[in-house]
A and B are shown apart, each in its own frame.
Chain A
């Protein structure tokens, strides 16, 4: 039978900004041939709030709450790069106890973020609601700990240069330990829920594969990069805070497809639990905040501080002119690079695979657009 050769009429269609599967307000202009994607042009900026400009008018102590609003799923991870950069420029020494509390909260935050990824991902695959709410349920337990600790539900504003805003509340350690002990079983449950499912496997294995070299060239980072078989994890490679004192392994997977990305995140949560348990065991007593002034003046200079965010490398490039406000604060968002990398995968895919691939990248548009 001769194949149809004449040029097909292509359909140009907006996917987003108001679409159930674009995780906020990503807009991709698709050119479709039937359901096959011929061209995919992402348009960003629908959540652009000018964070980098706003912070230039703020003093150093006022900035963390703005950063909380960037990646609204892993907020504390956003704050860290910035406060560590300020500490480095100012030469502040953070008390040990604060470092440990930071690590505990950061890892919990990472787990929360991965839970908040897992749910929507299965939702985008069409498992409507079920796993989504399981993810959110577990997130909620951790969220309560955060609320009790920081006093806020989303925009914690808990890290500050020199340590933490205030000490952890009564019973924090017990509750954190209880949560950490509970989590491995929960993660097993999640894996059991989806991994044994043939349709889930059919929809994820081999979908949207990215090889390590391309991912690296595109500046991808985090679980997205590690799923492509490149075990780069800043917690291990360039240890910051007290991460060099913990025993954990960098999770990576080969294949670089949606399933690998899922698997890496699941494994990573287990490692996070390990870190939390170790940190809880080693946590010393003492103050949680170094002596600093409110209107801190940083010496003239610049620093690029990067930390391993839940989504990848989160960088804060602070340029100081010696005043009380940053001269320039550039925020390197992991979502941006990962999204950029994933966008080269899209042409040639079919629509459902495109949705699965974009969902597997774990973008948060607040972080991408800033």
Chain B
């Protein structure tokens, strides 16, 4: 499939170049980076989110001008916020992950960088109990206003009643 570009392909080289530039510009905030399957993965510290994101959009070798997906993943000790970015010119992809601690679940909003992060951030906020600092309209998106549950956290269990009887483990 066209998916798995061979190592050393044009795209791969470009991603490695971005990885190098990223390390140079924001090395101290990077936790880990990896190029796999035509995609760059970068783990960053939450404090560096606004800087790195703005750099990713504005730097002329990156130009990640399109936010595909913003979501959270709940782990036992932290919530990871995952940004899937895309550059429409070079067609390169990057996945940025940042681990937000559950004690102070705050991360800077990226709505001023990509307006498309608006509703996904609202959704992530209500589903995981996060706070996106600087979000222009931090209301709930899908849940009712009086619902304080954080449904997508793992400690929130669905109650099926009898509906799941007989489903194998």
Determine whether A and B are in direct contact in the complex, meaning some CB atoms lie less than 8 angstroms apart.
Answer: yes
Query: Which of A's residues lie within 8 Å of B, judged by CB?
Result: 44-45, 48, 50, 52-54, 57, 88, 214, 216-220, 230, 232, 237-241, 244, 295, 304, 306, 313, 315, 317, 319, 327-328, 330, 332, 336-337, 340-341, 344, 369-370
Judging by beta carbons under 8 Å apart, are A217 and B88 in contact?
no
B158-A317 in contact (CB<8A): no
Q: A232 — which chain B residues lie within 8 A by C-beta?
A: 88
> CA separation between A113 and B93, bound complex, in Å?
29
Contact of B144 with A244 in the complex, beta carbons under 8 Å: no
Q: In the complex, are the beta carbons of A216 and B95 less than 8 A apart?
A: no
CB pair A50 B118 closer than 8 Å: no
Q: Tell me, rounded to whole Å, the shortest Cβ–Cβ distance linking A28 to chain B.
A: 14
Contact B73 A219 (CB under 8 A): no
A-B pair number, CB within 8 angstroms: 95
- A212 to B143: give the CA distance in the assembly, Å: 31
- Given A319-B73, A336-B119: A53 and B142 interface contact (C-beta under 8 Å): no
Which residues B84-135 have CB closer than 8 A to chain A?
84, 88, 91, 95, 114-120, 127
Does B29 interact with chain A (Cβ within 8 Å)? no
- Report the minimum CB–CB distance from A312 to chain B (whole Å): 10
A315 to B70: give the CA distance in the assembly, Å: 11
> In this complex, what residue of A is CB-closest to B168?
A295
Which residues of B (141-159) have their CB < 8 Å from a CB of A? 141-144, 151-152, 156, 158
A158 and B59 CA atoms in complex are apart in Å by: 44
Contacts of B115 in A (CB 8 A): 214, 217-219, 341, 344
Residues of B close to A317: CB separation below 8 A = 69, 71, 82, 84
In the bound complex, what is the Cα–Cα distance between A237 and B3 (angstroms)? 11
Inter-chain contacts of B84 with A (CB < 8 A): 304, 315, 317, 332
B66 touches A52 (CB 8 A): no
- The distance in angstroms between the C-alpha atoms of A214 and B95, with both chains bound, is 22
How far is B136's CA from A340's CA once the two chains are assembled, in angstroms?
14
Asked if B116 and A218 sit within 8 Å, CB to CB, the answer is: yes
* Nearest opposing residue in chain A for B2, CB measure: A239
Q: Which of B71, B74, B143 contacts A45 (CB 8 A)?
A: B143
Contact B114 A217 (CB under 8 A): yes
With contacts A53-B156, A57-B158 taken as known, whether A244 is within 8 angstroms of B2 at the C-beta atoms is yes
Chain B residues closer than 8 Å to A330, beta-carbon distance:
69, 71, 73, 82
Pairwise interchain contact B116-A337, C-beta atoms closer than 8 A: yes
Judge whether A53 and B114 touch: CB under 8 Å. Answer: no
Provide the residues of chain A in CB contact with B95, threshold 8 Å. 304
Q: Could you tell me if B66 and A328 are in contact, using CB atoms closer than 8 angstroms?
A: no
The answer to whether A54 and B118 touch across the interface, beta carbons within 8 angstroms, is no
- Is A54 within 8 A of B141, CB to CB? no
Alpha-carbon gap, A239 to B2, bound state (A)? 6
Q: Per a CB cutoff under 8 Å, which of B39, B68, B156, B158 touches A219?
A: B68
CA distance A54 to B127 in the complex (A): 13
Q: Is the CB of B151 within 8 A of A53?
A: yes
Q: Is the CB of A332 within 8 A of B2?
A: no
Residue of A nearest to B57 (CB): A217
**What is the distance, in angstroms, from A87's C-beta to the closest C-beta of chain B?**
9
Q: Which residues of A contact B3 (CB under 8 A)?
A: 88, 240
Q: Give Cα A296–Cα B25 distance, bound, in whole angstroms.
A: 42
Inside 8 A of A337's CB, which chain B residues have their CB? Answer: 116, 119
Is the pair A313, B68 in contact by a Cβ cutoff of 8 Å?
Answer: yes
CA distance A238 to B67 in the complex (A): 16
Q: Collect the chain B residues with CB atoms within 8 Å of residue A219's CB.
A: 66-68, 114-117
With A and B bound together, what is the CA distance between A295 and B88 in angstroms? 38
Q: Output the least CB separation between B63 and chain A (Å).
A: 11
Assess A332 versus B119: contact at CB under 8 Å? Given A53-B152, A315-B84, A317-B82: no
Determine how close the nearest CB of chain A comes to the CB of B19; give it in whole angstroms: 18
A295 to B168, CA, bound (A): 9
Mark contacts of B25-66 with chain A using CB atoms, 8 A cut-off: 1 yes-contact digit, 0 otherwise: 000000000000001000000000000000000000000011
Q: Can you list 30 A-B pairs, Cβ within 8 angstroms, ordered by A?
A: A44-B119, A44-B141, A45-B142, A45-B144, A50-B151, A54-B158, A57-B160, A214-B115, A216-B66, A217-B65, A218-B114, A218-B115, A218-B118, A219-B115, A219-B116, A219-B117, A230-B88, A238-B91, A239-B2, A304-B39, A304-B95, A317-B71, A327-B73, A328-B73, A328-B152, A330-B71, A336-B119, A337-B116, A340-B116, A370-B142
